[in-house]
Structure 1
Amino acid sequence: MCEANAYLRKDGNDELFLEMVDRVVPGEEGLLLEDIFGRRKVIKAKIVELALVDHRIVLEKDEQN
């Protein structure tokens, strides 16, 4: 499988945000994350790390917005 889990980094700790992410689409409202079942979440955040071999996407909240 090619999907990854998305984590939100808070105070140096990574908290699971969405499992089995298939798509990440940047937009005006923030990042749209969609899992393999079609569930979607939008978050105003930036990608700080993509660890594709480990199937991890690490996000940090965008404090500017």
Structure 2
Amino acid sequence: MCEANVYLIDKEGKEQLILESVDKVIPSEEGVLLENIFSQRKTVKAKIKEMALVDHRIVLEDL
């Protein structure tokens, strides 16, 4: 499986799981569009901070 869990680091430095089993990450002007294997979508006003795909982990940083 090639999906990853996506975490958001807020302005206070706290990390929070925002979506599991993500298989699409699409940067846009509004932030980052995420879509998982269950067709759930979420747009987050954030930028990509780290992608550790071997660990199935993507970290976003709040804008």
Structure 1, unaligned runs of 5 or more: none
Letter in 1 for 2:15: D
**RMSD (Å) for aligned C-alpha atoms:** 1.0
Equivalent positions of 1:20-35 (< 5 A) are 20-35=21-36
Note the C-alpha offset of 1:9: 1.1
Give me the identity figure in percent: 65
**Which residue pairs with 1:7 in the alignment?**
7
Alignment gaps of 5+ in structure 2: none
How do 1:26-65 residues align onto structure 2 when only pairs under 5 Å count? 26-62=27-63
- Render the CA deviation track for 1:6-65: whole Å, top value 9, x for unaligned: 001133332101000010001122110000011000011011110111000001111xxx
Task: Return the structure number with greater helix share.
Answer: 2
CA distance in 2, matches of 1:45, 1:31: 6
TM (norm. structure 1) is 0.87
Counterpart CA distance in 1 for 2:46 and 2:19 is 14
Aligned length: 62
Which TM-score applies when normalising by structure 2? 0.90
